[in-house]
Amino acid sequence: MFPSILLPVLTALALTQAPPPEPRSAVYLGTEHDLRVEVPRLDASVIVDGSLSEDAWQRAAHLQGFSEYMPDDGRAAADDTEILVWYSPTAIHFGIRAHAAPGTVRATLADRDRIGNDDYVLLYLSTFNDRQQASVFGVNPLGVQMDGAVVEGNAQGGHFAGIASGAPPLDLSPDFVYDSKGRVTDYGYEVEIRIPFKTLRYQSASAQDWGIHVIRRVQSVGHDDSWAPARNSAASFLGQAGTLSGLHDLRRGLVMDLNPVVTARADGAPASSGGWSYDKHRPEVGANVRWGLTPNLTLNATVNPDFSQIEADATTFQTDPRQAIFFAEKRPFFLDGIEFFSTPNNLVYSRDIVAPVAAAKLTGKVGRTTIAVATAVDDASQSTDGTTNPVFNIMRVQRNIGSASRAALVYTDRLDADYDNHVIDADARIVWKKIYSADLQAALSRTTRAGVTTTGALWQAGVNRVGRRYGLRYSLVGNAPEFNAAAGFISRHGIVNGSVVNQWSFYGKPGAFVEKFTQDVQLLGTWRYDDFLNGRGALERKLHIDSNFSLHGGWQTGASVLFERYDYDPSLFTGVSVLGGDTLQPFVATPRLPNLDYVLSVNTPRLYGVTTSVFVIWGKDENFFEWANANIVYGTLSVQWRPSERVRVDFDQNLQSYERRTDHSYVGIRRVPRLRLEYQATRSIFVRYVGEYATNYQDALRDDSRTNLPLVLVAPDGTFEPMGPVRQRSFRSDWLFSYQPTPGTVLFAGYGNTLATENAAVQRNLRRTRDGLFLKYSYLIRM
């Protein structure tokens, strides 16, 4: 009786004195779709030394359970990865523990953004939680940084790679200020990252959620692993991200970056009196200012920005003379926030602002609306009359629709003496059922030159399906001959391009030799704009059959067969005639040229420190020089050698040749080998040499498909001159010393020279034609 009476009392006493339950483990398993991370806020600071031993790291949230993302998705990752995250009032901290088999970690002491051949981890932070764009922070095992931005929906796939899938392409243009350090360990590697809130744009709310994706690249097997169990067969990559939830009381303080820049140069050239002379320019002083008006809006301004050109652009081959060549932006002022100006068909192209005297821009996001506005005053030397300063105005306003769709309006203009150009554009990307998307665009330009006004239209419509087994991309893009975007880039005017691409994908079993195989069929057509509107036939018709393989160990290979037909385009031969004796005859072209080409590509993993890429096209193709068929070879060989942690050797060989099918003589050959040597003394200091030797041979042109008579170029006054031959050789060398402890603080000292000959048939020896020395110093003052 007594025990039975005491039993409930004793039980109650025991329960009241039992220890409290253990707190929920801060482990978030991606494989279990546990993607909403409650990030601890700690009033703590740590030393970024690559060691995750401080107490703050023990209290961090742990992101684990990675799965394979590329080339296949959904499988458990072969190596464990753990991401630790916490934030202090002024910065967010990430720690990386990446496991790998002994001897398989690839890591070099590289320059910024040059870790593509190393193992690395990418952190995608969608700080506005819109899943439309993200800032990207990457590190290799030594903590060397690679950063940039992504905008959802920009991936279009390659000419012979079918339909793009997976993460959108990373734009490496932006450089962010953050701290990172790493080390290789006995279990793999460990990296510590601190990103100040001053560096980021984010929402103005007191409490907010951020989207997060984490991708780990494992070079030894050529795989990408993802914390979120993302599918590469989805229309949105960022839409599959996890969430850093409950971030609150973030303190940026005053965000004011002042970046004064001093540049000096001396340009050398042959003197008119003989010998060599230098044009010694006075040192130029400029400055960039970045002011964070609010956490979500940033104002940038610049006065006399430098071009930041520290080596000559690599020679680019032009396979179609009707296509303009695109060159990427390099100036720091224009790179900051460049993703906010991203628009289909490159209607915003900041390199049209050639030598700005001053510029300002406002970028950021208010609610679900992204805002980007820029104004620039260009140098008078770039105007139509040589005295007026051209003024550029650019604006893009974008509104998010749902979780993955968007719509935007764009306005650009250029105002210059008796010339002005205005463009207005509306574009949208609509995503539905997770694998379908549509791209729509309509633009109108109005151009006035010397009192004459013209208008023209540009438009685009496309639909995409990104499925695991089957994908498609159907698109139609056109621009009228009168369409002009003075602040944009149009590679070819007055045409309509149509494409129908169907792709099938097949996957091997784990460990199989072929991990993924894609087969696609592309139907491509190009019309003159007016011919398309009036229902006439296409100028170019193409059928491409492409096969691409992802092989075990990180090998990539592809093969294609190209069936093409080009109809004669008179714009290529304006003013060209045939010379028969002393008589000029009209050039009568072959109506159409049928082509049959083959493509082969191979990309190797890093073997004994060497990574190799080979791409070659050969077969019967158009000879644009003479409008005849030719046996063509386009080839590119790239070799990247990392003999040590500090030395980088990159070699590229480009070849373009046209052999006449009539007598097997060469109508044109271009060869450009390029060597790049770098020694990385520390993470901040490197020395670089770049050498490029270019040869260009063009035979005297003739009417190869009909009379074999010489082709001549006839001037409006009736005089004429033969077309060719051309013999050109040049050798360009660039030396650079670089000290860059952080973005914005740099010291560049360099020397470059060019040796050339205009006509090797007459002059065999190369001679120095120009050279130059330059010095740039800038310092980032962060308040």
Give the pLDDT confidence score for residue 248 in this predicted structure. 94
Give the pLDDT confidence score for residue 16 in this predicted structure. 43
Per-residue pLDDT band for 287 (boundaries 50, 70, 90) equals very high
Rounded Cα–Cα distance for residues 149 and 201 (Å)? 12
C-beta separation of 445 from 422 below 8 A: yes
Give the pLDDT confidence of 293-347 residue by residue, as tens digits: 999 999 999 998 876 555 566 777 778 888 888 888 888 888 888 889 999 999 9
C-beta separation of 658 from 711 below 8 A: no
Task: Answer yes or no: is pLDDT of 23 > 60.
Answer: no
Looking up tokens 């820029």 gives: 374
Rounded Cα–Cα distance for residues 286 and 750 (Å)? 19
Average pLDDT over residues 102-123: 93
Is the four-CA dihedral 374, 377, 381, 384 of positive or negative sign? positive
Residues whose CB is less than 8 angstroms from the CB of residue 742 and which lie 6 or more positions away in sequence, other chains included: 177, 780
| Fold (topology level) of 256-285+421-782 | Maltoporin; Chain A (2.40.170)
Rounded Cα–Cα distance for residues 305 and 377 (Å)? 12
Residues whose CB is less than 8 angstroms from the CB of residue 94 and which lie 6 or more positions away in sequence, other chains included: 83, 84, 85, 123, 137, 192, 193, 195
Rounded Cα–Cα distance for residues 565 and 697 (Å)? 26
According to CATH, what is the number of the domain 27-248?
2.60.40.1190
Give the pLDDT confidence score for residue 760 in this predicted structure. 54
Task: Answer yes or no: is pLDDT of 102 > 80.
Answer: yes
Give the pLDDT confidence score for residue 310 in this predicted structure. 56
C-beta separation of 250 from 777 below 8 A: no
Rounded Cα–Cα distance for residues 95 and 531 (Å)? 59
Rounded Cα–Cα distance for residues 703 and 715 (Å)? 19
DSSP code string of 436-457: EEEEEEEEEEEEEETTEEEEEE
Give the pLDDT confidence of 589-646 residue by residue, as tens digits: 889 999 999 999 999 998 888 999 999 999 999 999 999 999 999 999 999 999 999 9
- Return the DSSP state at 55: H
Task: Answer yes or no: is pLDDT of 709 > 80.
Answer: yes
Give the pLDDT confidence of 414-461 residue by residue, as tens digits: 999 889 999 999 999 999 999 999 999 999 999 999 899 999 999 999
Average pLDDT over residues 274-292: 89
- Return the DSSP state at 333: H
Residues whose CB is less than 8 angstroms from the CB of residue 777 and which lie 6 or more positions away in sequence, other chains included: 261, 262, 263, 746, 747, 748
Structure tokens at 773: 């020395």
Structure tokens at 251: 């303190």
The gap from C-alpha 456 to its chain's centroid, in whole angstroms, comes to 29
Q: How many CB atoms lie within 10 A of CB 202?
A: 23
Looking up tokens 């970690």 gives: 105
Task: Answer yes or no: is pLDDT of 21 > 60.
Answer: no
Question: Of 79, 36, 42, 85, whose CA–CA distance to 62 is shortest?
Answer: 85
Rounded Cα–Cα distance for residues 693 and 422 (Å)? 42
C-beta separation of 347 from 410 below 8 A: yes
Of the ranges 17-26, 78-87, 142-151, 152-161, which one carries the lowest mean pLDDT score?
Answer: 17-26
Strands (E), 624-725: 628-641, 647-660, 666-680, 685-698, 711-714, 720-722
- Give the dihedral of Cα atoms 94, 97, 103, 107; nearest 10 deg: 0
Run of H or E including 531: helix 529-533
For the chain, domain boundaries: 27-248, 256-285+421-782
Give the pLDDT confidence score for residue 42 in this predicted structure. 95
Residues whose CB is less than 8 angstroms from the CB of residue 645 and which lie 6 or more positions away in sequence, other chains included: 107, 108, 109, 142, 680
Give the pLDDT confidence score for residue 167 in this predicted structure. 82
Q: Which residues pair with 412 in a beta bridge?
A: 394, 423
Give the pLDDT confidence score for residue 19 in this predicted structure. 43
Rounded Cα–Cα distance for residues 150 and 127 (Å)? 12
Dihedral-angle region of residue 221 (phi above 0 means left; psi in -120 to 50 means alpha; beta otherwise): alpha
Answer with the residue of higher pLDDT: 601 or 580. 601
27-248 and 256-285+421-782, same CATH topology: no
Give the pLDDT confidence score for residue 417 in this predicted structure. 87
Give the pLDDT confidence score for residue 325 in this predicted structure. 84
Task: Answer yes or no: is pLDDT of 511 > 90.
Answer: no
Q: How many CB atoms lie within 10 A of CB 338?
A: 21
Rounded Cα–Cα distance for residues 674 and 554 (Å)? 26
Pairing state between β 592-603 and 610-623 = antiparallel
Give the pLDDT confidence score for residue 24 in this predicted structure. 44
Give the pLDDT confidence score for residue 762 in this predicted structure. 52
C-beta separation of 27 from 84 below 8 A: no
Is the four-CA dihedral 10, 15, 16, 17 of positive or negative sign? positive
Structure tokens at 230: 């993302």
Give the pLDDT confidence score for residue 313 in this predicted structure. 64
Structure tokens at 382: 């770039």
Percent residues over pLDDT 90 in the chain = 72
Structure tokens at 687: 């020395």
Pairing state between β 276-280 and 256-270 = antiparallel
Average pLDDT, the chain: 90
